[in-house]
Structure 1
């Protein structure tokens, strides 16, 4: 049984950890705490090298990592200055293992740690032999990637059609604001004001997994559904009803 949940802020993102904690307190019978950024609070010389080793260098290659001195130095800077990080996908399971070994306080399953990350994480798909970006990698700790919310779920088909059309006409990739103005708003973009609301289900899913052993929900209308397309994220996280019947009875 989960007795304590600790959320960690991601101050360079639009995610409000305090608002997420307040929402979670109303739904689970556990103490919910908020702490500052986990990656910024780990004074560990080996973490930068482990992050470098967790870098996905080829979307179709299972092996990860580049631990050349320059890459490790980059990771060291990104740990202390997160606004300088970006453009990298990390093996979520490897990051999870690295952080699990460094968690403060109790590491047992009765104390769930949920760092909101300013990094993009992914998992390897054995079924198709490629890496897939993820919003959340559940477990201990449960990683919730804020940029993953914008990048992992596929956008509407019209988005890619507009992007391709613009590229054909101009030879360049269209500015993001052009695409956003042309496509209906059924998807989230970086720094979206809906970010915190859209992350609620993923944070709750982390606690639900430890409580029930079930990872996510099969009902597309439920906040605990792990949508793989942006319209599905909007429907599950931002539309009524908030939960399926089973999870409404438990968390509604």
Structure 2
């Protein structure tokens, strides 16, 4: 598989992404042309009403059951339309089935840009989730690997778990009626927060995972010392993306092979 161009879509509600820096990173690492575009739903604003309806049908209402599409109410459709036209309203976290969300995006992209050599990478603040048949429940996902690929900034924050001690401390403080802010300060820096400046670096690793999946069929690495590591804990995410901030030797060789004829 050879990519001739990457279309990279911004998420203006999360300026910490630093979309221009991300575009330069992808161009440098994968030796590919990158076109930076505005937020996906703004770029394809002619389809706003249709997209709003489809997004409303992709919402998750039962975390313990596989996805079941339902007919949304008019109020739900209006809420979705407002959410994709008003970037500043990010107070409510809504869960969407990741594969349904991905299909909505794919159906919106025109056929001329849907050729296999065109790769679409969408950054969004919407929380994408997938159902796990091992524990029979939905889980938040930071990245949905496909073409188009989805990177959820909310998923980056919420999907990898915080330190175990954080949850124990949270529970103890709640039981004792203590202020939770002091406990949060104790763990500050050990996990990502909303509008965290570290997001600009973290998201590069997820972009690499999405591109590796499309180019090789294997997005993840088993080593924590690689940017392709599929972190389930925030501490592992910070380690692989910030402390290490590189590919392992094996995946660097694969990337070198992919880009060996780069001009």
- Contact conserved, 1:52 with 1:67, CA < 8 A, in 2? yes
Residue 79 of structure 1, aligned match among 59, 84, 106: 84
* 1:1-252 matches, cutoff 5 A: 1-13=2-14, 14-42=16-44, 43-44=46-47, 45-64=49-68, 65=70, 67-85=72-90, 86-104=92-110, 105-170=112-177, 174-175=180-181, 178-183=182-187, 185-240=189-244, 242-251=246-255
The SS at the match of 1:82 is: coil
CA deviation vs aligned residue, 1:195-227 (integer Å, no higher than 9, x gap): 010111110111111211212222221101111
**What is the RMSD of the two structures over their aligned residues, measured on CA atoms?**
1.7
Q: How many Å apart are 1:101 and its aligned residue?
A: 0.8
How many Å separate the matches in 1 of 2:115 and 2:41?
20
- Contact conserved, 2:145 with 2:214, CA < 8 A, in 1? no
Bigger helix share: 2
Q: How many Å apart are 1:137 and its aligned residue?
A: 0.3
**Distance change >3 Å, CA 179–CA 22, structure 1 → 2:** farther
Q: Paired residues, what number?
A: 249
How many Å separate the matches in 2 of 1:156 and 1:80?
35
TM-score of the superposed pair, with normalisation by structure 1: 0.93
Q: Which moved more, 1:96-105 or 1:153-162?
A: 96-105
TM-score of the superposed pair, with normalisation by structure 2: 0.89
For structure 2, the residue ranges without an aligned partner over 5 or more in a row are 257-263
How many Å separate the matches in 1 of 2:203 and 2:67?
30
Q: Which moved more, 1:223-232 or 1:56-65?
A: 56-65
Q: Which moved more, 1:156-165 or 1:37-46?
A: 37-46
How many Å separate the matches in 2 of 1:236 and 1:118?
22
